[in-house]
Chains A and B, each alone.
Chain A
Amino acid sequence: MHVLTMARLTILEASRRKLLLALALLTLVVIVLTSWGFSRLPTMNGVTPAEVRVAASQLTILVAFMFSGVLALGATLVAAPSIASDIESGIALAILPRPIRRSEVLIGKWLGLAVLIALYAALSGVLEMVGIWWATAYLPPSPAVAITFVGAEGIVLMTLALLLSTRLAPMTGGVIALVLFFVGWIGGIALTIGQTFQNSTIINIGVGSRLLIPTDGLWHGAIFYLEPSDFLAAAQAAGRVRAGNPFFADSPLPLPYLVWIAAWILIVLVLANWSFARRDL
């Protein structure tokens, strides 16, 4: 019951503090500008429709990367202070003596932030895809799945930042979450290099990194569903040349890995709850 109260409070705070308005305005500007950029592709001298399609598909992946970055950074900046700043400011001192469990506060905040991330990913993703389709008549093969994975990437990082927020100052927790995000990204590049050159040590490091911080795994899951099949076949034929390309995925995410990501979120939430419940305020 109180979980929904805290979730509502989290969303209301984002709205009242003008976070939603600022994000909406900036995102609209970005979508208008990128759509205009896409609309220039067919007008270039001597360009064929097939070339426009290849260029549009590659640019779509780059734009998705930008949105995944915005979501990851945004989710971290919002989640890292969520518990910590309530403790520092004394808001938690007024709320927690009420008949509310700390787990309800934590899960409520998580739920509110997850709704915000999912809404942002869905709305910005759909609008961007509509813009690209309007400008080039190109649509990636499975935009909905790709948008879902980009949103999930934000939720994974937000969950990690929330765990850190139960013990660390907002600044410290935020920096650690972002460092881990980029370490995960480099780990993903290492994995593709290791797979291409069949080096088991590098593969193990890469797999370990994807298991510990699944953000890059989700990003590659999103890329796969943005790649047209002919482009995918051509890239696979290129062999070693594609090694280490962080904007290419040659296979979908296996189901066990998706199950692991769900379990990862659950484990981190349980850890966050355990940590918050034991903290003296």
Chain B
Amino acid sequence: MEAADAASLAVHTQDLAKRYGKTVALSGLTMSVRRAEVFGFLGPNGAGKTTAVKLLVGLARSSAGQAWVLGAPVGDLKTRRRLGYLPELFRYQGWMKASEVLSLHCELAGLPRAGWKAEIASALATVGLSERGDDRVEGFSKGMQQRLGLGVALLGRPELVLLDEPTSALDPVGRHDVREIIRQLKDRGTAVFLNSHLLSEVEQVCDRLAVVDRGRVIATGTMSQILGQDGAVRVRVTGLPPAGRAALRAYGNLEDEGQWLTFRGLSQERVPELVSEIVNQGGRVYAVEPRHETLEDRFLQLLKEQDG
């Protein structure tokens, strides 16, 4: 893809790679994030998620490949005015008040001084810290620091917000709030790049996603494209001999948990046929539960396929 095409995208990478000495952190990452969409970036620990984000915001330099952010090559100084970023492991100056941290970032982002007060008040209100603006950051809990970090990332109405594990320190209320903020960002046309391993969170807010493993995209698309159309069914069975269990593998990807058998990739029309076959094989059926495949199921399956 040429740079001109990349301009219409929030993020575009082409064969992006990063090596730290002999360690390959990212190998050939190719992906696109559209404007005004919420894009989930999933992967197990060590998959290269944080490395990819650091390359996109210019904290690290790529070893190979290319990347554009908001149409400009990564690291472009002017483009960084239009970015918001919440790092995964970060801290703000503990000796500063929350409002001073926000003020500093307004200044660094080049926002007009006249608008700082409103920006700071809005950011504090959005992340639920309106009452704590005059408190020093060193007295904040980890969750409050994460809320403040999110507030910093929202300053100046950025066109792209990169959130690296934004809810790792938050309680369920905080997680809910973050999901709401992400939805509001999308509504006002901001693209959100959500780097997370909290799959339920990604499932709830993301339009599209990419799954990475060992520095490479192994699946990308909309949620329904990733999950696939076929469902799964869970059956509680007793008295089934080993040979019978083996015969049932013809009905789908079988996960054997003793009394409970889960069949993946099985269309709902074939469920009566499956039950009949179990009975034929000598099994006694106590329960049949159609199961909607979750992102977690699919994610684990994708990683298993990679290992295979």
Contacts and interface: CB of A to CB of B under 8 A. Distances in A.
B108 A99 contact: yes
A95 interface: yes
A98 B80 contact: yes
Contact of A89 (B20, B57, B91, B105): B91
B1 interface: no
Contacts of A91: 90-93
A13 B83 contact: no
A130 B83 CA distance: 54
A101 B95 contact: no
A94 B87 contact: yes
A13 B105 contact: no
A96 B59 contact: yes
Interface string A1-19: 0100100010001001100
Nearest to B85: A97
Interface string B204-240: 0000000000000000000000000000000000000
Give the dominant DSSP class at B's interface.
Answer: loop
Interface centre among A9, A97, A101 (most CB of B within 10 A): A97
Interface string A215-228: 00000000000000
Nearest to B80: A99
A99 B78 contact: yes
B54 interface: yes
Nearest to B108: A98
B87 A90 contact: yes
A93 B81 CA distance: 16
A13 B89 contact: no
B235 to A, nearest CB: 49
Given A13-B95, A90-B89, A95 B77 contact: no
A44 interface: no
A100 B81 CA distance: 10
Interface string B47-85: 000000010011111000000000000000110110101
Nearest to B77: A99
Contacts of B54: 280-281
Contacts of B78: 99
Interface string B270-299: 000000000000000000000000000000
Interface in A90-138: 90-91, 93-101
B107 A94 contact: no
Contacts of B60: 280-281
A97 to B, nearest CB: 4
B166 interface: no
A2 B108 contact: yes
B110 interface: yes
A280 B61 contact: yes
B109 interface: yes
A94 B80 CA distance: 12
Interface residues of B, number: 29
Contacts of A278: 61
Contacts of B89: 90, 93
Contacts of A101: 77
Nearest to B152: A94
B108 A90 contact: no
Interface string A48-92: 000000000000000000000000000000000000000001110
A13 B87 CA distance: 22
B20 A280 contact: yes
Contacts of A17: 95
B149 interface: yes
A93 to B, nearest CB: 4
B104 interface: yes
Contacts of B105: 94, 98
Contacts of A13: 93, 95
Nearest to B149: A94
B92 A99 contact: no
B22 to A, nearest CB: 15
Contacts of B81: 99
Interface string B92-122: 1101100000001101111000000000000
B59 A90 contact: no
A97 B57 contact: yes
A106 to B, nearest CB: 15
Interface centre among B58, B80, B87 (most CB of A within 10 A): B87
Contacts of B107: 5
Interface of A: 2, 5, 9, 13, 16-17, 89-91, 93-101, 278, 280-281
9 contacts: A9-B104, A17-B95, A89-B91, A94-B92, A96-B58, A97-B58, A98-B105, A99-B110, A280-B54
6 tightest Cβ-Cβ pairs between the two chains A and B: A90-B90, A98-B108, A97-B57, A280-B60, A93-B87, A16-B95
Given A97-B59, A278-B61, A280-B59, 20 more contacts: A5-B107, A5-B108, A13-B95, A16-B96, A17-B95, A90-B89, A90-B91, A91-B93, A93-B89, A94-B90, A94-B105, A94-B149, A95-B108, A96-B59, A97-B57, A97-B58, A99-B78, A100-B108, A280-B20, A280-B54
